Structure 1
Amino acid sequence: MKPTRVRYGVVGFALSLAILAYVQRVAISQAAGPISADLGLDKVEMGLIFGAFGLSYALFEIPMGLLGDKLGVRRVLAQIVILWSFFTALTGAAWNLTSMWIIRFLFGAGEAGCFPNLTRMLTQWLPRGERVKAQALMWASTRWGAAVTPPLVLVGITLFGWRWAFVIFGLMGVVWALFFLSRFKERPQDNPKVNEAELALLAESQALVTQEHGGWLQLLLKPQALLLMVQYFCWSYVWYFFVTWMPTYLGEAWGQSAAETAGLSVLPLFMGGAGSLVSGMIPLRVPRRLVAIGAFIAVGSLLLIIPQATNVGVAIALLAAISFSGDLSVPISWNTCVEMGKRYTATMGASMNMFANFSGFLAPVVGGMILADATKSWNFMLYVMAGVAFFGAFCWLFIKVPEPDPEPDLVVAPAL
């Protein structure tokens, strides 16, 4: 009997939510100008608002990952998508620094657990080799979702103003959640469209997400797990520049208009998606740890070169190369979470993502402080990011990555 392909519809759900999550997350970076002008915010205050998302996202990651491992991803994902979409829409109602900070903090709490639970969903619905490729596709989708956001937000602000643009983005999440609840089943065996051959194909994956190897806290305190979390912090520290300060950098350092900034911001984010996709296509015989080390070294080196750029085209090309290089490590990191986490896949992923979003809080706040210091500049911010990237390469020297076995190529079908 030929296996059915119901699992590819699950991949469709993962990809569409990944895009939606990043559209809603990145929108505020392009809207920073009108928001600052409307609410009377300076760079330090805007940095605090950028950081509010990362702080709450980090704090709520492990609880949401534990909920996904305990209650199942269907219930948890539907609830958090509706929750974060509500606060996305509520962003348009902010009237000062405090209200905006609180709304962004609660928005981050809503998005916490999204990708750890998507990782668990893909783990239990895909055989191992297909999961590696699906993770690469999912993270490529996040970057491409972020890439289309600047022009999308610019159109929304032009037509409706920044307040109503956030309301529209919030409604998109509610539509996704309702469709997901009506079509997705937690386990393959609960879906009547899955035949016996597809169930047999997924038997190993089902065993993986039920395999016990000690408690979740014991898992998270292992040196290998801690190193995995720290290296993800390092790349996220750099990556958050693209979705927070980059539009401001292009405007101030290179004199670009809002429209020019929106157009230029697309390339680095698009190339990040390409990096994730290429990561999933690298032959399995190539050690994943070496790919990650090379990616971090490239990021640090390119950041040191940017201050020598002679025009905005060169600067954007270097930023695009940084985004591509760094995102080579992202699917590797998430698949390593699965191999380490097993029964606690969502919890392991949540813990790694928690570290990433502590950097999401720290990086924009530190950036705002650097820019507020008259003795420092954008170049100083880039040098700090380079140092963090080199430390990420150092961490990967000691991480052992379980290498996946070859599986049939993944063919992605439309969502159910």
Structure 2
Amino acid sequence: MCGRFTSSAARRTVTRPEKSRRTAIRFVNRFIQLRPSRLILKLTCAFREHAYRALRDIACLLNEKVATITRRTHDVNKSFQIQGHIAFRSKCALLHLQVHRVRRYDDKDGQVTPFHFINGDFSLYRSVVILWMRIEPGSMSQPTIQPAERSATSVRPTAIRWRVLAWLCSLAAITYIGRIGTIQVREDIETSLHLTPEITAWALFSAFNLAYAIFEIPSGRLGDKLGPRKVLTRIVLCWMAFTALTGAAWNRGSLAAFRFLFGAGEAGAFPNIARASREWFPFGERGVAQGLVWMFARWGGAIAPLLMMVLALPFGWRGAFVLMSVLGVIWVWAFYRNFRDTPHDDPRTNDAERSLIGGVRDTSKPAPLSWSTMLVSPTLWALSLMYFCSNAGWSFFGSWITPYLKKDLHLSGLPLVLASGGPLFFGGISCLLGGFLTDRQVRLWGRRWGRTLLGVISYSVAGALLLVTVSATAKHVVLAYIALCLSSFIKDFGLASSWATTIDVGHRYSGTVAGVMNSLGNLGQVVSPPVVAWLAIWAGTPGHPTWKITLYYYAAMFFIASVAWLFVNPRKVIVYSEADQQRLRAEGRLGT
């Protein structure tokens, strides 16, 4: 087997068993030098004198361990964590363990085909180690598989979960269109209702965010009890109603009331999206799913100013809000008709996809949520502090970016409208890239740093870029805008990690955990707009506020968020009591 890996000259002088023995010993020595996992280390040391046999036994034992986990928990995703652990420890993906391909069968004779350990770094090894495997260690015979078993393993999983994700992404875009569109007509609202920037900050922005923060936890908890389908339908119905009512406001009191009700109705959208993502996506795809959700959310916010301008030019700002509410009418009907809470409720999914997502349906009584355990968890508070500062820093792009571009960078007309959505557009791209990256990091480094390191780096770099924007505002307009867009782009690399972490630590109650994080996080958007308005007025001249100075505040928020990420531990589930955690772990139900 391994003799083919030597040169042609060596092949003439060295026998095949000797070549195999030398190749296997080099393989084992490489493992020992790279300090692999304890299981691999013990096995390779124990069988060092018989290296070739040790390799076969390692393969069998790993296969047996994965099969045991899969049989016990019906959780294929747990095996992907083993893949990542082994690939990271070998530092070159030497054992890239494709668990769902461990048992592949030849359709002609029903025999087990070779299982491949593939070396990902061909510059180091330039070889493929092929090991014949079966579930039980020992004999390497090739058992015949029954036709029923063969057909079950050869069925291709359906892709209904990606259709579900399309609904979640469109919902995220709709919510941000209604939220960000107000910045384009802010001056029209101030003129029509005789408001000042300080009053607008409270009535238009803070009233919405305050209600949003208050009702996040109840809406997230409601999604855990009733399922995301009913709660998300209620959210879109409220979005439609209060978007239209915003256009009917006649003074600052009615505007604040409608925006408060708007925030209360929309609260819980993203916690329930996270809850649905846990039900529909395996562990290895959750970062990507959250990245796509937030990409469409950012892109919805990016097109909102342009959409609002197009609607407001012929119909005014009041008509624009009414017409925008029509977007949700067809969506909510189609969503409720096609969306289901879990794969087991959707007849379009087959058994292969259900197994890929999470195995058989768990009909046992779920463990209760332990509020005391959750609320004393350092991870929850570090995550909430991070999201508070993240939202406080990001609120610039959803509130005061237009006056900054107009007053400090001297933009107007269509360039102003397009520039207002630019940072959100680029942020959407990084949301998707960050989702791919965090899933990749988790497979290589584990949850602890796979989730958190990306947030530490992205928020610190985003804060530094805001400082570059401040220094370039006066003399280098193009550089200032580029740095502003890059700040949004880099910061949003960590967004998918934060929501994927709520799914990791929240387990079955991920909607509640996400609600707590988003609730406390949105308090940052409650506080920031009026604070920033006061700073701009204080730093400017009467009637001419300056918005450049406020970027120092936003940069400081990003720096604090970066530090908070260091205290987040995504490896530990925080919603169960210690006794329930031990019981669930013993039953194999705490795999994801």
* TM-score range relative to shorter protein: over 0.9
Distance in 2 (alpha carbons) for counterparts of 1:42 and 1:164: 22
Distance in 1 (alpha carbons) for counterparts of 2:499 and 2:382: 13
Distance in 2 (alpha carbons) for counterparts of 1:341 and 1:208: 19
Distance in 2 (alpha carbons) for counterparts of 1:224 and 1:366: 28
Q: Which has the higher contact order (CA 8 A, sep 6+)?
A: 1
- Distance of aligned partners of 1:398 and 1:50 in 2 relative to their CA distance in 1, 3 Å threshold: same
| Contact preservation (8 Å) 2:470, 2:549 | no
SS at match of 1:370: helix
Distance in 2 (alpha carbons) for counterparts of 1:10 and 1:398: 33
Distance in 2 (alpha carbons) for counterparts of 1:299 and 1:212: 40
Aligned position for 1:360:
525
Within the candidate set 192, 201, 207, 2:356 is matched to 201
- Distance of aligned partners of 1:314 and 1:207 in 2 relative to their CA distance in 1, 3 Å threshold: farther
Aligned position for 1:9:
163
Distance in 1 (alpha carbons) for counterparts of 2:360 and 2:283: 7
The one-letter code sitting in structure 2 at the alignment partner of 1:127 is P
| Contact preservation (8 Å) 1:209, 1:343 | no
Q: Quote how far apart the aligned CAs of 1:205 are.
A: 9.6
Structure 1 alignment gaps of length 5 or more: 404-416
Aligned position for 1:107:
262
What TM-score, normalized by structure 1, do the two folds share? 0.92
Within the candidate set 301, 312, 322, 2:477 is matched to 312
Q: Quote how far apart the aligned CAs of 1:233 are.
A: 0.9
Distance in 1 (alpha carbons) for counterparts of 2:498 and 2:377: 16
Deviations for 1:298-319, whole angstroms, at most 9, x for unmatched residues? 1221121212112332221111
Q: Where in structure 2 are the equivalents of 1:85-234 lying within 5 Å?
A: 85-203=240-358, 212=367, 214-234=369-389
- Distance of aligned partners of 1:337 and 1:227 in 2 relative to their CA distance in 1, 3 Å threshold: same
SS at match of 1:94: coil
SS at match of 2:192: helix
Distance in 1 (alpha carbons) for counterparts of 2:360 and 2:205: 38
- Computing the radius of gyration over CA atoms, which structure comes out larger, 1 or 2? 2
Deviations for 1:358-391, whole angstroms, at most 9, x for unmatched residues? 1111111111221232568423311111112111
Displaced runs of 4 or more, over 4 A: 204-211
Distance in 2 (alpha carbons) for counterparts of 1:209 and 1:59: 33
SS at match of 1:373: helix
Aligned position for 2:106:
none
Distance in 2 (alpha carbons) for counterparts of 1:205 and 1:22: 36
Distance in 2 (alpha carbons) for counterparts of 1:209 and 1:18: 32
- Distance of aligned partners of 1:308 and 1:209 in 2 relative to their CA distance in 1, 3 Å threshold: farther
| Contact preservation (8 Å) 1:30, 1:150 | yes
Structure 2 alignment gaps of length 5 or more: 1-154, 573-592
Deviations for 1:316-355, whole angstroms, at most 9, x for unmatched residues? 1111111011111110000100111112100100111112
Aligned position for 2:559:
390
Q: Quote how far apart the aligned CAs of 1:44 are.
A: 0.2
Within the candidate set 159, 163, 173, 1:19 is matched to 173
- Distance of aligned partners of 1:220 and 1:172 in 2 relative to their CA distance in 1, 3 Å threshold: farther
Deviations for 1:100-130, whole angstroms, at most 9, x for unmatched residues? 1111111111110000001111110111112
2:190 is equivalent to residue 36 of structure 1: yes
Distance in 2 (alpha carbons) for counterparts of 1:24 and 1:150: 10
Deviations for 1:6-42, whole angstroms, at most 9, x for unmatched residues? 1111011011101111111111111111111111111
Q: Quote how far apart the aligned CAs of 1:204 are.
A: 5.1
2:453 is equivalent to residue 298 of structure 1: no
What TM-score, normalized by structure 2, do the two folds share? 0.66
| Contact preservation (8 Å) 1:216, 1:347 | no
